[in-house]
Amino acid sequence: MKAIVTVIGKDKPGIIAKVSAVLADNLVNIEDISQTIMQGNFTMIMQCGLEKAKLKISELKEVLLKVGEQIGVSIHVQHEDIFNAMHKI
């Protein structure tokens, strides 16, 4: 299963390090990553493979929500299918 992790917030050093460390600890594989400034915000989008992950997607969401609170960014974790459904015919 693939998940899309989206990190949005004020840019500062260490965001990628912190988020990717949590993903690595939980055996979540980052398969694609892009970052940019959108609407004045740091925006990072990661496509992640959860095939070998230690956590279910809902649990990973909880963990990353807390990480987001610690570093002051908002983090979303969503099943990739929702984006495919809404934006691809």
CB 43 within 8 A of CB 76: no
DSSP 51: T
Q: What is the 3-state secondary structure (H, E, C) of 15-59?
A: HHHHHHHHHHHCCCEEEEEEEEEECCEEEEEEEEECCCCCCCHHH
CB of 44 to other proteins, least distance (A): 10
For position 81 contacting other proteins by CB under 8 A, the verdict is yes
Alpha carbons 35 and 58: distance in angstroms, whole number: 24
Told to check if 85 binds other proteins by CB under 8 A, we report yes
**The only residue of 13, 14, 34, 70 in contact with other proteins, by rule CB under 8 A:** 34
Residue closer to other proteins, measured from CB, 45 or 71: 45
Q: Which of 45, 63, 67, 71 binds other proteins (CB under 8 A)?
A: 45
Contact footprint for other proteins (CB under 8 A): 4, 6, 8, 32, 34, 36, 38, 43, 45, 47, 57-58, 61, 76-87
